[in-house]
Amino acid sequence: MTPEQIFAVVAALVAGEPDPSFEQLKNGGHDSRYPVTVEPCELQPGTLEVEGQTVLCGIVDVPETYDAPDGPRIALEFAILKARSQSPVADPLVYLHGGPGGGTLQMLGPVAEILYANHRQTRDIVTFDQRAAALSGSTVTCHQNTAENLVKLVGVAAQKLPRETLNALVAPCVDEILASGVNLRAYNTENNARDVRALTQALGYPSYNIYGISYGTKLALEVLRTEPDGVRSVVLDGVAPLQVRLYDDLVGPYARTIDVLIEQCRGDADCSKAYPDLKASIDAAFLRLAENPIPAARGQEEIGFLQLFDLVFKQRNNWRIRKTITPYLPRIFTELAEGNSTAFDAVMSVKAPNQVISLSETSGLTADERALVRVALETAEAMADMEEAVVTAIERLKKDLAEDRETTSIAEAFEARSNAAASTISDQDALAALIRDYALLQTQEPGQAPLVQWVSTHFSGADRDALTELVAAMSDADIARTFEIADGQATKYETVLGGVVNNHIYACQEDVPYNTVEGFHARVTELAEEYAFLELFRDNTSFFENCEAFPKHPREGFQTPVVSDLPVLALNGVLDIQTSWQWGAVAVETLENGQNLVFPEAGHGSIAYQPCANDISVAFVNDPTSKLDTSCIDRIKVDFVMPDDPLPQ
C-alpha cells in the first residue's frame, strides 16, 4: 500500500462520484445478446477499492446453450478492476480462475492487491465466476439437499466432521439438480470458452489478454481452440494441458516436486555431503511416522504422516503462509527418519512469515551487519503496523459513509431477533429443523406468508409474538431484504457442498472415462517404485467414486492438444502439487509461439510466490512478441540448513 494509493482511495470515498467509463455498463452493456446488469459486489472487494469508481460488479446474462440463444440463461457474476493508470491500454487482462468450479470473486481483494497489482498499473483486470462456479452457480445448486443437511455441512466447514460426510451428499445433490431440468451437458469447458468471449464483448473489450491459473489454463487453451477472436496474448500459470490424464496422475506432482528437492541438494556441495542419501531419508521419515507417530510432548503436538505431509507439501504450496521451508527439509527428513523432531518443531513454531528467512541467513554476518538487519526488520514491522492502522481507518470511513446513507432496516432487526431466539433452543433436532426451513426460504417467492409460517412453526410465546409483529411491519423492501439475508446465510454452506459438486460437473463429465480408477492405481504403483510412501495414497479414490453419480458427456477431440500461433507464456512452480511443473512443456509443444518457464520456490500459481514470475508475466503481456529477460530465475537460490546450523527460536 503506497501513499498514492491511500490518497486516491480517500479522495474517491469523499468525492463519491461514479467513474463515467462505467456508464454504458449501467445501461445494459455493449452487446444486446449478452445484457449486463450492474449490482453491488457480493463480497468485500478490498480496502483500496471503491465500488463504482475503482471496481464494478454485476452479471452478464448468457445462454445456457449457445446453439439455443432463446433457451435457458445463466447469470455470470463479474468484476472489473479499473487500471490504476489515467491513460490505460485498451486491452484488459481477463483472469480465468481454477477449480473447475472454484470461483474468484470471493477473493477479489488478493486478485486486486497481490496477484495482478502490477498488471493493473496499465490495464483493467476483468474476472468472473465461471458457469457452475461459486456466485455463478445458482442454476446448479441443490437447495433442498443443502437445507436437509445444513447441520452436517456446518460440521464439515468447521472441520468437526470428516470429508466422507461431504462425499456422501454428492449423489443426492446431483439427483436434485438433474430433476430440476438443468442441462448438465451444457456445463463444459467449450461453453466456458464461449462465455469468455461473450463476457468481453458485453463489457466492451474487443481485444483482451488471458491469464489462466490451474483449470483456468485448460479453459484458456480451449479459448484458443474455440473462440480465439480478440485474444492478444495468453499466460498459463500452473498448467493443466488438455491431453494430460490429470486425475490418473493426482499423485505425480508430489513425486516431481520431491525430485527437484533431491536434485537441488545434490547440486549443492554442502547439502550433498551432509545428506548423502536424501531420497532414502524422505521415504524413511514418511513411513516411520505413518507407523509410529512422534507423541505429543516437547510443548508440541503429535507428528504423524499427515503433519509431515502438510508441512512438506501444503504449507510450501500455500502462498498465504509464505514460509520459506525448503532450506530445512533435508535436515527435517534426516532427523525424523531417526525419530528426532528438533528441526521440524523449530520450523513449525515460526509464526511470522519471514522469520525463518531472517534467522537462517544471518549466521555468517558480523555483529554490525546483524544489527543492521535487525533494524531493517524492525522498521518493516513498524511499517506493517502503520499499514494495518491505515486499513482500519479506511474501513471505518467506508462504514461511516455507508451508515450516513443507510439506517438499520426491519429486516436486520428481524434477523437479530430471530438469531437471539434461536440461540435459546436446546433441542438439537428442533434447531436443525429451524435452520433447514430458514435455508429453504430462498426457494420460495418473497412474501410475508412464508415468514409468518416459519416463525409460527419454530417459535413460541414472546419470541413468536415479537417476530410476527416485525413481519407485519415490513415493507416490500424489508421483505426482499429478509429473503436476501436468508439466502446469504444458506449460501455460506451451499458452497461447502457446491464446491465439490461444481468441480465434478466438469471433471466427471469431461475427464472420465479418459481418466479411470484403474489408471490412477497403475500410476500409484509406478510412482511407489520411486518413493515408497506414495503407496499410502492408493485408497484416495473418492473423486472416481463421486463421479459415478454424474452422467458422462465426453466430447470428441477435447483431449486433443491445442494448436495456435498466438503468443503464449507457460509458467510453472517446482513446488506445485496440483499441476506438475513438467506439464507446461507439454502444453507448448503444439503452440507455435509458446514459451515455457520453470520457477524454483514457487507453488501453484507462480506469480503469488515469486516477484520474478510476476514481473516476467507483466513484461510478456505488455509486449507478447519481444524477447523476455528471464535472468531473475537464476537468482532464486536455496541455501540449505546444515545439521549444526542454528534453528529459529
Q: Are 523 and 252 in contact (CB under 8 A)?
A: yes
Mean pLDDT score across all residues of the chain: 89
Give the phi and the psi of residue 93 in degrees, each rounded to 5. Answer: -105, 120
Please list, in sequence order, all residues whose beta carbon lies within 8 angstroms of the beta carbon of residue 425, skipping any fewer than 6 positions away. 431, 434
User: Which residue from 76, 35, 39, 75 is spatially nearest to 55, judged by alpha carbons?
Assistant: 39
Set out the domains of the chain in order of their start, with CATH numbers. 3-132+187-247+558-635 (3.40.50.1820), 252-360 (no CATH)
User: In this predicted model, what pLDDT tens digit does every residue of 510-554 receive, in sequence order?
Assistant: 999 999 999 999 999 999 999 999 999 999 999 999 999 998 888
**C-alpha neighbours within 13 Å on the C-beta side of residue 614:** 16
pTM exceeding 0.75: yes
Confidence of residue 150 (pLDDT cuts 50, 70, 90): confident
| Cα gap 594→592, rounded to integer Å | 6
| Cα gap 107→77, rounded to integer Å | 13
Q: Which residue has the higher pLDDT, 151 or 407?
A: 151
Q: Could you tell me whether strands 208-214 and 231-239 are parallel, antiparallel, or unpaired per DSSP bridges? A: parallel
User: Which residue from 524, 626, 585, 557 is spatially nearest to 236, judged by alpha carbons?
Assistant: 585
- For the cut 60, the answer to whether the pLDDT of residue 357 exceeds it is no
Q: Which residue has the higher pLDDT, 313 or 315?
A: 313
Q: What is the CA radius of gyration of the chain?
A: 26
| Cα gap 41→56, rounded to integer Å | 7
Q: Span 207-235, mean pLDDT?
A: 98
Please list, in sequence order, all residues whose beta carbon lies within 8 angstroms of the beta carbon of residue 47, skipping any fewer than 6 positions away. 1, 9, 109, 113, 391, 394, 395
User: In this predicted model, what pLDDT tens digit does every residue of 43-61 receive, in sequence order?
Assistant: 777 767 888 889 999 999 9
Following DSSP, what letter does each residue of 581-627 receive, concatenated? Answer: TTHHHHHHTTBTTEEEEEETT--SSGGGT-HHHHHHHHHHHH-TTSP
User: In this predicted model, what pLDDT tens digit does every residue of 465-508 receive, in sequence order?
Assistant: 999 999 999 999 999 999 988 887 777 777 889 899 999 999 99
| Cα gap 80→58, rounded to integer Å | 9
The pLDDT value given to residue 113: 86
- For the cut 60, the answer to whether the pLDDT of residue 396 exceeds it is no
Confidence of residue 349 (pLDDT cuts 50, 70, 90): confident
- For the cut 50, the answer to whether the pLDDT of residue 352 exceeds it is no
User: In this predicted model, what pLDDT tens digit does every residue of 560-602 receive, in sequence order?
Assistant: 999 999 999 999 999 999 999 999 999 999 999 999 999 999 9
The pLDDT value given to residue 252: 97
User: In this predicted model, what pLDDT tens digit does every residue of 6-26 receive, in sequence order?
Assistant: 556 555 555 666 678 899 999
In three-state secondary structure terms, 239 is strand
Residues in the chain: 649
The pLDDT value given to residue 160: 80
Q: What is the 3-state secondary structure (H, E, C) of 176-191?
A: HHHHCCCCHHHCCHHH
Buried b (16+ CB within 10 A) or exposed e, 388-420: eebeeebeeebeeeeeeeeeebbbebbbebbee
Question: What percent of the chain has pLDDT above 70?
Answer: 88
Q: Which residue has the cell 541455501?
A: 639
| Cα gap 92→116, rounded to integer Å | 11
Backbone conformation region of residue 55, classed left if phi is above 0, alpha if psi is from -120 to 50, else beta = beta
| Cα gap 515→247, rounded to integer Å | 6
The pLDDT value given to residue 379: 61
User: Which residue from 193, 199, 191, 192 is spatially nearest to 65, judged by alpha carbons?
Assistant: 191
